[in-house]
Amino acid sequence: MPKVTHLGHVVFYVADLERSLAFYRDLLGLHEIKAGDLPFRAAALTSGRTHHEVLLIEAREMPHPPPGPRLGFYHAGFCVGSSLAELRAMREAVRTAGVTLKGASDHTVTQSLYVLDPDGNEIELYVDVPEVDWKRDPKLILSPIKPLKID
């Protein structure tokens, strides 16, 4: 049965990106990854352990904000491996457990499934894409989101 290998990141909707960067980057010392070409203001931050551990999305700048709370917790991302086979196995385990699969996305550096926990919190289950060298090209971390072709 597939298992989570580690907590990868947490995503927050924030009211003011610069104010939040002053906290996470300037006070806590996380390194900011400069955003690529996104249709909204966002910042990825890392301690250097992985491609990003915190993602901040400025809620007021989003062209089509998702339903639900606009500020605060958006989702937590749990790594389940580094291959589509491992992600497929997790998808099967989620389906067998009767958990609703909300979506699937290709983020260039990761490939992801989105599910809801029993209390309705969004959880991302993802695999890192080993052939993507985000350390050499950090802008890949904030690449445009594409549909995931998992089958």
pLDDT grade for 110, boundaries at 50, 70 and 90: very high
Q: Is the pLDDT of residue 89 over 90?
A: yes
Arithmetic mean of pLDDT, 24-41: 83
- Residue at 13: amino acid letter: Y
CB 35 within 8 A of CB 52: no
pTM assigned to the model: 0.77
Q: Is the pLDDT of residue 31 over 70?
A: yes
pLDDT digits 0-9 by tens, 9-19: 999 888 889 99
All structural domains of the chain: 6-147 (3.10.180.10)
> Mean pLDDT: which of 31-35, 48-52, 125-129 is highest?
125-129
**Amino acid 102: pLDDT:** 92
- Residue 34 vs residue 91, higher pLDDT: 91
Q: How many CB atoms lie within 10 A of CB 124?
A: 24
The DSSP line for 32-44 is EEPP-S-SS-EEE
Across the beta sheet with 146-147, the strand order is 31-33, 42-46, 54-58, 6-14, 72-79, 122-128, 110-116, 101-106, 146-147
State CA 130 to chain mean position distance. Answer: 16
Q: How many H helices and E strands in the chain? A: 2, 9
State CA 125 to chain mean position distance. Answer: 9
Instruction: Count Cβ neighbours within 10 Å for each residue of 42-60 and write b for 16 or more, e otherwise.
Output: bbbbbeeebbbbbbbbbbe
pLDDT digits 0-9 by tens, 38-49: 778 889 999 888
CA–CA distance, 150 with 120 (Å, rounded to integer): 24
Paired tokens of 86: 């491992």
- Least confident stretch, 78-82, 95-99, 126-130, 136-140: 136-140
Could you tell me the sign of the dihedral formed by the alpha carbons of 20, 23, 28, 31, in that order?
positive
